[in-house]
Chain A
Amino acid sequence: MTGVDDRPEDQLAQHLRELDASDAHARSERMDELFTALKAECQKSDRTVAGFLRSRSTMARRLIVLGVFSGLAITGWHLFPIVGDHARTIQWTTSLVTFCVLLLVAMIMVTRPVHLPELPRWQSVCLICLAIGAPILAAFWPYPAAQAATHDHGGSVMAGACMGVGILLGVPVYALLRLVDRGNAFGSLVAAAAAGVAGNFVLKAHCSVPGTSHELLGHASVAVLFVLGLGLVHRWMPSR
């Protein structure tokens, strides 16, 4: 209980008590109605995939997401050809590691337990900015001469294809993160940023087309489209 010394002075305390008394009405029949509606909502939710996933413990939800991400990454790595030896530079590795770290942080933010105070807004904004900024920065890193020589076109030719593939790969990531999100503030936008980063990770690993214009139009645009598109959807149609 609160200590006596911490309480406000008598007059103010009296006023506060009056306010408390005036708000003390709660009708039992209304509470019954509320509980019945709540029970029905909980039962309905328990029957859905999202309800099942969200009610797993935080550790279980994180392991599920990590398992799916790892499975997808390993399958993709082995099924599709990754960039040639000449393109596997330090910058390339750094980009992949950065995307991995961003994806991990986004996953931790989205699966944050709801009984903890919500994260400050700036942390979510920071992650979203990094998710958009990192692919843009990666696009400006110079390519090794050997890789640049393998393509004689401007690079923007294949940008549409890369953008399509990136978006296609980001959708399941976004869907999975939304399925395990219990309703954190900015959860939708953070999941969108994660989808953009996941798309960029795959494109960076497999796309050997060099050129800043190609990376900006085909790779970085994936993150921008996810965040802007879902941001607008989130703004106009906020979830409950």
Chain B
Amino acid sequence: MEAYVHGDDAAFRALFERYAPILLRLTRRHLRDDELAEEIVQQTFFRLHGARNDFRPGSKLRPWIMTIAMNLVREHWRRAKRRKMTSLEVDTQAAPEADLMPMELRQRSELLHVALEKLPTSQREVVELHWFQERPYAEVAQIIGTSEGAVRVRAHRAYATLKQLLVLEIRGDE
């Protein structure tokens, strides 16, 4: 990042190659729309480009990028809500790369997506960052702008709810 701040274009590409796939997975799970997820990833890097002079040597870049992306995802949901976009529209989007997945895996993935979508946004963000991105609670708290204790509570509730939802969904399928 320091090289990029000093005008090294190759460093920008290296940053993109390193973080874009991570962000793409994060945003796809939140939005379930490939095109939108890619746009948010691009927008995240565009904002990072604008904010590069705020970067202090020795700081961690990952929380920066994650925070920008999460802010954009929240902004998207807020706008979508304002436009009265129904959840049905989102639900009907195909899961990423669904055609390449075996049927059973696709069904399970679908179940999990549905369960994750039933979580409140604040809990889903925590699961996303804590589980899928493997960020420690302290960093998750920094990214979403709350205390570590609150993050722990949200994670505990989210995992309990997910477990409950999955049991119900699996029983329902049987």
* A23 to B101 Cα, complex, angstroms: 10
Identify 7 new A-B residue pairs, CB closer than 8 A, beyond the known A1-B134, A16-B131: A7-B131, A22-B101, A35-B13, A38-B45, A116-B145, A185-B71, A240-B43
Question: Which residue numbers of B lie inside 8 Å of A, CB to CB?
Answer: 12-13, 16-17, 20-21, 24-25, 28-29, 38, 41-43, 45-54, 63-64, 67-68, 70-71, 74-75, 78-79, 82, 95-97, 100-101, 105-106, 108-109, 111-113, 116, 127, 130-132, 134-137, 143-146, 152, 155, 159, 162-163, 166
| CB of A89 within 8 Å of the partner chain | no
Q: Distance (Å) between the CB of B42 and the closest chain A CB?
A: 5
A27 nearest CB across to chain B (Å): 9
Question: Quick one: which of A1-30 are within 8 Å of B by CB?
Answer: 1-3, 6-9, 11-12, 15-16, 18-26, 30
Contact residue among B20, B42, B54, B67 (Cβ-Cβ distance under 8 Å from A57) = B54
How far, in Å, is A234 (CB) from chain B's closest CB? 10
Shortest B34–chain A CB gap in Å is: 9
Contacts of A113 in B (CB 8 A): 51, 54
Compute how far the CA of A26 lies from the CA of B152 in the bound complex, rounded to whole angstroms.
31
Are A118 and B74 in touch, CB under 8 angstroms? yes
Instruction: From known contacts A58-B54, A114-B71, infer whether A15 and B108 are also in contact, taking CB-CB under 8 Å.
Output: yes
- Could you tell me if B50 and A2 are in contact, using CB atoms closer than 8 angstroms? no
> Which chain A residue shows the least CB distance to B29?
A23
Which of A's residues lie within 8 Å of B, judged by CB?
1-3, 6-9, 11-12, 15-16, 18-26, 30-31, 34-35, 37-39, 41-42, 45, 51, 54-58, 60, 113-118, 182-183, 185, 235, 238, 240
Q: A2-B130, A185-B71 are in contact. Are A117 and B166 (CB under 8 A)?
A: no
Q: Which of A38, A116, A185 contacts B16 (CB 8 A)?
A: A38
> Is B71 touching A18 in the complex (CB atoms < 8 A)?
no
Query: What's the Cα separation between A188 and B136 when bound, in Å?
Result: 34
Pick the residue among A45, A57, A117 that contacts B71 (CB under 8 A): A117
Taking a contact as CB atoms closer than 8 A, the residue among A12, A22, A26, A39 that contacts B109 in the complex is A22
Contacts of B101 in A (CB 8 A): 22
Most buried by A among B20, B63, B127, B134: B20
**How far is the CB of B33 from the nearest CB of chain A, in Å?**
13
Q: Are A8 and B159 in contact (CB under 8 A)?
A: yes
| Shortest Cβ distance from residue A78 to the other chain B in the assembled complex, whole angstroms | 34
Chain A residues near B71: list those with CB within 8 A: 114, 117-118, 185
**Contact among B70, B137, B166 for A12, CB-based, below 8 A:** B166
**Which of chain A's residues have a CB closer than 8 A to the CB of B145?**
116-118
Q: Nearest Cβ distance between residue B53 and chain A, in whole angstroms? A: 4
Q: Pick the residue among B38, B54, B82, B163 that contacts A34 (CB under 8 A).
A: B38
- Contact status A19-B17, CB under 8 Å: no
